[in-house]
Chain A
Amino acid sequence: MSLFLTLLRRELRLSLRHGADTLAAVLFFLLAAALFPLAIGPAPETLGRLAPGIVYVCALLAALLPLDRLFGADYDDGSLDQLLLSGLPAPAVAGAKALGHWIVTGLPLLVAAAPIAVMLRIADDALPVLLLGLLPATLLLSLFGTVGAAVVLGARRGGVLLPLLVLPLTTPVLIFGVAAADAAAGGLTPRPHLLLLAALAAAALPLCPLAAGAALRGAAE
């Protein structure tokens, strides 16, 4: 366990040192979401109706940005071999990476989503639900993304393959996340949608690191 935390701290420290890479995902999110009012016009009712969808799609795309280097840098400089020999099982290495990605990319996206949603004139009732839904949703994006990053590791043009692999996996996150916010905006209870999101997260939390760990072992070979 202490080794897991040491590895996580190392990941966070590395992200801090490469601050520009870390910030890029959040800035991409802010910029991409800010393009929508320009493209579809500033009418509040249209924007407010689309706001949850815009926030989710942009967050999803932004979370993809740092995935390419999640294992890529370690694979290229030999650190991956050392990580697999650090005494941690491979799924734990993948789990630490996923958690690192969530803290560095997922949580900042969650924070940035609030001003963006307000800017897009989201319904007042929907904002807390949107943010509550993004909590499991960003975690799921990190977990699915870690699996994708581990699977394409070592493949030629892995960076192109990665979104094609990860985006279809994230459709349930998109559907339930936006449905929860829409339900709240329409005066319905968002509870079933949020519970389904939480159930997805509960299933992905143990399964994704296992899959990613197996893929890492394969890539090291």
Chain B
Amino acid sequence: MLEGDGLAVIRGERLVFSGLGFRVEPGGALLLIGPNGSGKSTLLRLVAGLVRAEAGRLSWQGTDALADLADHAARVAYLGHLDAVKPGLTVAENLLVWGFRERIARALDTVGLAALADLPAKMLSAGQRRRLALARLALRPAPIWLLDEPTLGLDTASVERFGAMLAEHRAGGGIVMAATHLPLPLPGYAELSLA
């Protein structure tokens, strides 16, 4: 169970949000909604351990989640709004650092890029690059998925495949936190509104 309590973030001497609390049960999904600049991405980065909280506490299974950042990183799969794809590497090579070698073929298959595995990533279209970034989620058994606009630029078939990924992840007890303005294939989600 992932729990946030009284979280506050200050960036560049501006208070992004404060007193923010939420709770996600295993298999649960939390959708962050709010206008641009309301701190959705910042909250995702905070839960990932990339941004420091000025106040409040983030706990995972009842213990302080951010006490050991390297430990926490193993629990988290983060998809930012940037794809983190290196144009100089092939599609398969792009995934090498983030997970186990034997899972790469399966992960590429999940997002429908298996046929392009040996192609240089600079040949990919924007949507295909996004799918490559999504494949990173399937590489490691991380219980917490943090998704920042995950379906931006995806076609309908890819969104459906992504829905299947999300369903499989949640069926295994995984948690999803997502910030988006597009409808996501996430049945039974809870909402957290950032003003």
- CB neighbours (8 Å) of A221 from chain B are 11, 45, 50-52
CB of A186 closer than 8 Å to a CB of B: no
Which of A18, A78, A85 is close to B88, meaning CB atoms less than 8 Å apart?
A18
Residues of A contacting B51 in the complex (Cβ-Cβ under 8 angstroms): 220-221
B173 → A minimal CB distance (Å): 20
Do B84 and A82 have beta carbons less than 8 Å apart? yes
CB within 8 Å of B: which A75-93 residues: 77-79, 81-90
A144 to B94, CA, bound (A): 28
Residues from chain B with a CB closer than 8 A to the CB of A7 are: 97
Closest B-chain residue to A11, C-beta based? B97
Asked if residues B80 and A10 are in contact (CB atoms below 8 Å), the reply is: no
Q: Which residues of B contact A88 (CB under 8 A)?
A: 70
1/0 per position for A1-39, CB-CB distance to B under 8 A? 001001101100110011000000000000000000000
- Mask of A159-178 contacts with B, CB within 8 angstroms, 1/0: 00000000000000000000
Assembly CA distance A89 to B73 (angstroms): 9
Contact B83 A13 (CB under 8 A): no
Is B82 part of the contact surface with A, judged by Cβ < 8 Å?
A: yes
- Cα-based distance from A77 to B73 in the complex (angstroms): 19
Q: Mark B34-50, 1 if CB is under 8 A from A, else 0.
A: 00000000000100111
In the complex, the chain A residue whose C-beta lies closest to that of B78 is A85
> Out of A6, A10, A14, A89, which one reaches B70, CB within 8 Å?
A89
How many chain B residues touch A (CB < 8 A): the figure is 28
- B98 adjacent to chain A (CB < 8 Å): yes
Q: Are A87 and B50 in contact (CB under 8 A)?
A: no
**Partner of A77 from B50, B76, B85 at Cβ < 8 Å:** B85
In contact, B83 and A6 (Cβ under 8 angstroms): no
Other-chain contact of B86, A77, A90, A220 (Cβ < 8 Å): A77
Verify if B93 is at the interface (C-beta below 8 Å from A).
yes
Is B119 interfacial (CB-CB < 8 Å)? no
Is the beta-carbon distance between A82 and B85 smaller than 8 angstroms?
Answer: no
B 52-111 contacts with A by CB, 8 A: 52, 69-70, 73-74, 76-78, 80-86, 88-89, 93, 96-98
